[in-house]
Amino acid sequence: MSNADTLSADIVPSTREIPAHVWNSLVPSTDGRPDNPFLDHAFFLALEESGSATRRTGWQPQHVLLKDGERPLGLMPLYLKSHSQGEYVFDYGWADAFARAGGEYYPKLQCAVPFTPVTAPKLLAADGDPALKRALLTAAQTLADRNGISSVHATFVPEAEAELALAAGWLVRHDTQFHWHNQGFGSFAAFLETLSSRHRKVTRRERRDALADGFSVKWLTGRDLTEAVWDAFFEFYQDTGSRKWGRPYLNREFFSRLSEAMADRVLLMFAYDGDEPIAGTLNLIGKDTLYGRYWGATRHVPFLHFELCYYQAIDFAVAHGLKTVEAGAQG
């Protein structure tokens, strides 16, 4: 336990200025590897150095690095935001009300993994020390107060961190996601046996119809992730992004950087018509969870979205002994 009087908080304007080994030492890990791939230094660095999450795009890094002397003890991934895009939590009503009251809502401070609605620790402290987590909250509040920033937000945090924020005077908002939990199933068929007869029948029909025209599915990870594969996926991603958000948040370079740094934690699931990829999903593989993030297609095939985003994800989780599938929010 460190003495609060000896702690200092540095505001770091770039992920690169925090060495990867320092960053990842503060992230919950197993054998030196972050349990949640979205918390990996490499993921944040790919977002920043690809130009996807930078000051120019409205995501200016302001990471809080808590230290005792020169010893790093805590980290909060924090951004100065000039808008509310890419957060998957909608506060436009707050922004409008703030403006009507004569205030300037933007810029605001956002503690988050950009473009990633995945629950994960955001108050990263050595040994999970609650006192250090509280110090990170205080540091963010102090940064806002000293610079006249309207507010500080932390999104998709675990319940324990939400309770710490609530005790520090923050407001807490709850939302809902749907996750699949592996109850030791040995196969997809074993999972189906836990459903009602009607739901088993519907699921089997959807899986059959999705691939009825001779389409095939491949799982791609590691060395499978060539630039040609990423070109195909980016076409899928652009199609979905342009329809849902007007423009995609991530650029093509991000995916190459992600693949270069974390290829064995990336899983693409592609549907093929012969040799032609026609749809795909991007997932990240955690210690015990498969995280679904993006889906796209160049042609509409009934139930193919369900097959790739849900049923194939469950197949993969069962085959690799993963406990949970988080299919994602939007995208």
The DSSP secondary structure of 129-159, one letter per residue, reads: -HHHHHHHHHHHHHHHHHHT---EEE-S--H
- Per-residue confidence (pLDDT) for residue 2, from 0 to 100: 59
Give domain limits for the chain.
4-167, 179-326
Grouped pLDDT means (10 residues each) for the chain, 331 residues = 79 99 97 97 99 98 98 98 94 95 98 97 96 98 98 98 98 94 98 98 98 97 99 95 76 99 99 98 99 96 97 98 89 41
> Among residues 103, 101, 88, which one has the least CA distance to residue 153?
88
Per-residue pLDDT, 4: 65
Q: Virtual CA dihedral for 3, 160, 285, 58, nearest 10 degrees?
A: -80
CA distance 137 to 151: 12
Q: Which residues does 262 contact at the CB level (< 8 Å), separation at least 6?
A: 37, 40, 42, 43, 46, 284
- The predicted pLDDT at position 328 comes to 80
pLDDT of residue 330: 57
- In Å, the largest CA–CA distance within the chain is 68
CATH topology of domain 4-167: Aminopeptidase (3.40.630)
Fold entry, domain 179-326: Aminopeptidase (3.40.630)
Q: Are the folds of 4-167 and 179-326 the same?
A: yes
The one-letter amino acid at 320: H
- The gap between the terminal CA atoms of the chain, to the nearest Å, is 42
